[in-house]
Amino acid sequence: MAEFSINHIARHGFGGLFQTHGRDSRTQFWTFGALVFGPLIVIQFATQIVLTFPSLGDMAAASGSAGNREIFEAQMRGMITSAYVNIGLYLLGALLLLTAAVRRLHDRGRAGWWALILPLGLFATGLGQAERMAAAAKRMPAMLAEMERHPAPDPGAMFEWAVKANVPPGGSDWLAVAGGLLLLGLLIDLARAGTAGPNRFGAA
């Protein structure tokens, strides 16, 4: 009977970081994925808090609309930095999971090179998010100035400002869209059951 303890899954996963042959079950792969990405998600949230939340000293020093604008612009810069940090964290997690994804694909009877979608898809979607954030930050000073000229806008104007802040001026980022769709397809395949019995990649 296969052993499914967390200790066994961790030893198998981290011990097989450079091992592409063999097969991994769904339980092995997804539990190992949680062990890899769980700490990275905690680091991601901690980084966002540190980079985007103003200190108590900055909040106390801020006065009037000019001070609030400085805090807001500092938050936007922190969000951009955080978005690029997230790319690094996602890539680290994807690289740690790469050979496990290869073995999971082997369990499905598929060639392991499809696992390359994991780091490439995460990089494309993460880069697209960071670039959208940077573009929104560049547009933000003009939008803040417009909002100050209309201190009590109607709901339609507020919706229009929200759209301007989030829609990139160059249109959709098709590289990020394609990467996201490929990544979704890969994750669905990794979640499906493996082939029953031996296949061309070995015993179950």
Average pLDDT over residues 140-146: 66
Quote the pLDDT of residue 29: 96
Higher pLDDT, 85 or 2: 85
Higher pLDDT: 74 or 1? It is 74
Q: What are phi and psi of 202, to 5 degrees?
A: 125, -170
Reference 24, options 37, 9, 35, 6; nearest CA is 9
pLDDT of residue 74: 77
Q: 60: phi > 0 → left, psi -120 to 50 → alpha, else beta; which? A: alpha
Q: What is the CB neighbour count within 10 angstroms for residue 144?
A: 16
Q: Is the pLDDT of residue 39 over 80?
A: yes
In this structure, what are the phi and psi dihedrals at residue 128, rounded to the nearest 5 degrees?
A: -60, -40
pLDDT at position 111, please? 95
pLDDT of residue 54: 67
Give the confidence band of 164 by pLDDT, cuts at 50, 70, 90: low
In 22-116, alpha helices (H) = 26-52, 56-61, 64-107
What's the mean pLDDT when you consider all of the chain? 82
Backbone angles phi and psi of 199, in degrees to 5:
-135, -170
- How confident is residue 134, by pLDDT bands cut at 50, 70 and 90? confident
Provide the pLDDT confidence category of residue 109 given band limits of 50, 70 and 90: very high
In this model, does residue 35 exceed pLDDT 70? Answer: yes
Burial class (CB in 10 A: 0-12, 13-18, 19+), 57: exposed
In this prediction, residue 41 has a pLDDT band, given cuts at 50, 70 and 90, of very high
Closest CA to 109 of 200, 192, 39: 200
Structure confidence at residue 117 (pLDDT): 96
